[in-house]
Chain A
Amino acid sequence: MDIDKFIDEIKKKFPNEIKQTEVVHTKRLMIYISKEALLKVTEYIFKDLGLRYIIVTAMDSKKGYEIIYHFSDDSTGWIINLNVVLPREKPEIESLTPVVYGTEWIEREIFDLLGITFLNHPNPKRFLFAEDWPEGKYPFRREQEKK
């Protein structure tokens, strides 16, 4: 995959959804997208282009709750990252599990740790924490540290 060609193509295909693209460093591309576009863009790169799903990283950053979906192009070694920022109030995003089967566990883990709700998740149960873990306590939120 020629990366310049890939960037041109994906920009042409999703002109409004893609906010910005950035080559972070060698072989690492970050694509900033809106949360509404996530399913469409993922379907394109996972199903049509056949990139391999790696994992999802979620963090509490200055911009809000930031979710990064990592995909790997194994023919060239590039890692394509989709970056979505969610507001702190009512963090919700569409679940990727119907498209990428493997994201089921990590989405449940992110709900446990950061309290992000994944809409239409087929099995929205706790993953890591015990059943008696208190409601509304999310250890990866910065507000927990201040308390």
Chain B
Amino acid sequence: MGKRTLVPIGPYHPLLEEPEFFKLYCDGEIVKEVVWETGYNHRSIEKICESKTFEQVFYVVERICGICSTSHPFAYANAVESIPGVDVPIRAKYIRTIIGELERIHSHLLWVGLAGHFLGYNTVFMWAWKYREPVLDMFEIITGNRNSYAMFTIGGVRRDIKEEQYPQLEKLLDEFKPKLDLITGAVMDDPVLHARLKGVGVLTAEDIHDFGAVGPVARASGVDIDVRRDDPYAAYDMVDWKVITAQAGDVFAKAEVRLLELYESISIIRQCIEGLKKEKGGEIKAKVKEIPPGIGIGRAEAPRGEVFHFVKSDGSNSPVRHKVRAPSFTCIPTFRRSCVGGTIADAAISLAAVDPCYCCTERMAQVYNYSTGKRIMNAAELIKLSQKRTEEFKTKFLKG
């Protein structure tokens, strides 16, 4: 085994939200091994939930993720409602589905923008984030918040979508569709992106099964799974839509799956609005007296994949055990197969392709000559060199 250089990515990134630390052990340009460290920001949410009432847990789990803040309440609602067997009113099911799909739209746009940014394709970044704004504004109109909507409660939702809001929602979708065509075209028809992303960070269906990866990561490798169809909840079995898959398993396929899913989301929301029109004046919340002893397991398809909640009740008003599995927990470890063997330059986008929250590159401490194994420069010498160059530029360009 030759000499290996450690390229640290992390532990904090000023742009994204989660602190984590990737250590890439490289031989020249090639990544040989990746080690991951976490625990920088452990908030102990599972333990906190045990001291809250079933109702209050919604607002705790909503704060697990800042981007897909409805996915956790969604899965928790499915889990806790399955214990007494609550029959959620149809109108509430449609509202839940609309919130879930609007969230998928803004979350996928966020990823597409960031992926473009990582690749230096800032046009996509600007467009995606610009056209994401009206979706967040829509959330403010419907729920009162751009994020952390506090819409869910046991047995239904807390706010109705009013009749005068249907046209606003429809207008949003009408205006968004051509923008989505624009972004999709910018990604799918760009020869540079094809060259940059195809064959990079490939995951096979076998890798997906080994790690238990879910969501767009699995679907891009030809694994046809989606909790919305396989274990239907809310209104997903009442509307017509299809699961998007791709076969290649590379970063391009993941982008393709996410972009095409947005068209399905638009269609689902439209059908839900029609459903709401039919269910005029319907209940939005079922009465639930108490949660009997037992266990409840709930799932929901978040933008990043399946969210899993396990709730155990002993008949009191708070859970005795609440286990949460976010999709990134099984998706992130796939870097062992997607990054190892690739170059450092590909590692950044391979890690970002699973849509985790991810950190930036720190400075390398030493430079080696790989043919001789001899050290050329250390950090202090690198800084000295950089200062020397700056001085040179100053005298050259700022003279007089």
Contacts and interface: CB of A to CB of B under 8 A. Distances in A.
A25 B321 contact: no
B44 A52 contact: no
Contact of B232 (A55, A77, A100): A77
Nearest to B295: A24
A128 B297 contact: no
Contacts of A20: none
B225 A25 contact: no
9 contacts: A25-B82, A25-B83, A27-B231, A53-B330, A61-B321, A70-B297, A74-B230, A127-B39, A139-B47
A56 to B, nearest CB: 9
A26 B85 CA distance: 9
B42 interface: yes
Contacts of A6: none
A74 B226 CA distance: 8
B310 A70 contact: yes
A74 B312 CA distance: 23
Contacts of B213: 102
Residues of B in contact with A, size category: 20 to 34
Q: Which of B38, B320, B321 has the most CB of A within 10 A?
A: B321
Contacts of A32: none
B333 interface: yes
The 7 closest A-B pairs by CB, nearest first: A77-B231, A55-B325, A53-B212, A128-B39, A57-B323, A101-B210, A102-B212
A130 B210 CA distance: 28
A89 to B, nearest CB: 21
A52 B209 contact: yes
B321 A55 contact: no
B373 interface: no
A100 B231 CA distance: 23
Given A24-B295, A25-B82, A104-B333, A50 B39 contact: no
Interface in A70-119: 70, 72, 74-77, 79, 81, 100-102, 104-106
A7 interface: no
Contact of A57 (B42, B47, B294, B321): B321
A63 B47 CA distance: 20
A75 B225 CA distance: 8
B312 A50 contact: no
Nearest to A71: B212
Contacts of A61: 312, 320-321
A105 B329 contact: yes
B310 A57 contact: yes
Interface of A: 24-28, 30, 50, 52-55, 57, 59, 61, 68, 70, 72, 74-77, 79, 81, 100-102, 104-106, 126-130, 139-140
B321 A59 contact: yes
Interface string B306-319: 10101010000000
Given A55-B308, A57-B323, A77 B209 contact: no
Interface in B181-217: 209-213
For the residues of A in contact with B, the DSSP-based class is: mixed
A55 B209 CA distance: 13
Contact of A77 (B212, B230, B323): B230
B220 to A, nearest CB: 16
Contacts of B299: 79
A55 B323 contact: yes
Contact of A74 (B38, B225, B323): B225
A54 B231 contact: no
A28 B298 CA distance: 10
Interface string B43-69: 010010000000000000000000000
Contacts of B85: 25
A140 B297 contact: no
Given A59-B321, A70-B308, A79-B297, A128 B212 contact: no
A124 B210 CA distance: 19
A68 B329 CA distance: 17
A52 B213 CA distance: 9
Contacts of B212: 52-55, 100, 102
B333 A140 contact: no
B333 A59 contact: no
B312 A55 contact: no
Contacts of A26: 82
B226 to A, nearest CB: 9
Contacts of A81: 297
Given A54-B330, A57-B310, A101-B211, 20 more contacts: A24-B297, A25-B296, A27-B231, A28-B295, A52-B209, A52-B225, A54-B212, A54-B306, A55-B212, A59-B323, A70-B308, A72-B231, A72-B306, A74-B230, A76-B230, A81-B297, A100-B210, A101-B210, A102-B212, A139-B47
A72 B230 CA distance: 10
